Amino acid sequence: MPTPSESEPLRVRMMTDDVSGIGLWDQSVTYDEEDLPLPDELRGRLRQWVDEYTATIGGENAHWTLDDLYEHDRRGYALSHDMQRALGPKYRIEYVFETRRLRQELKSSRRYDEP
């Protein structure tokens, strides 16, 4: 895993994909949440968030509705902010929205900010 520098934070994109079970990415690198200096509680929440989404692909959450995906997206966005606070300025957590609905809501309410 690359290490952050004082002048440029390490960019980590937080997103789900279909079945990889990975939630942290960069352009060509995936990150194991164990590699980041996160408190165990946040690491566990991230793992649960990723696993919930992975289970939508033919698993126990395959029945999720658009509202369920929206709620998952809201939790992920909040989690990305918690992670940014825990990691500090040496890291840049960039949340990738799963639903257009949440992105539009946040932009229209002017509450949208990059974590």
Which residues form the domain of 49?
10-108
Res 86: pLDDT:
96
Which one-letter DSSP state was computed for residue 61? T
Number of domains in the chain: 1
Determine how β-strand 91-95 pairs with β-strand 10-14: parallel
Q: Please check whether residue 2 lies inside any domain of the structure.
A: no
**5, part of any domain:** no
- Which residues of the chain fall short of a pLDDT of 70? 1-6, 18-22, 26-32, 110-115
Give the Cα separation of 61 and 68 in Å (integer).
9
pLDDT of residue 99: 92
Q: Is residue 16 part of a domain?
A: yes
Q: Is residue 95 part of a domain?
A: yes
Q: 């949208």: which residue's tokens?
A: 112
- Could you tell me if 64 and 96 are in contact, meaning their C-beta atoms sit under 8 angstroms apart? no
Q: Residue 4 falls within a domain, yes or no? A: no
Let me know if residue 78 belongs to a domain: yes
* Cα–Cα distance, 64 to 59 (Å, whole number): 10
CB 115 within 8 A of CB 95: yes
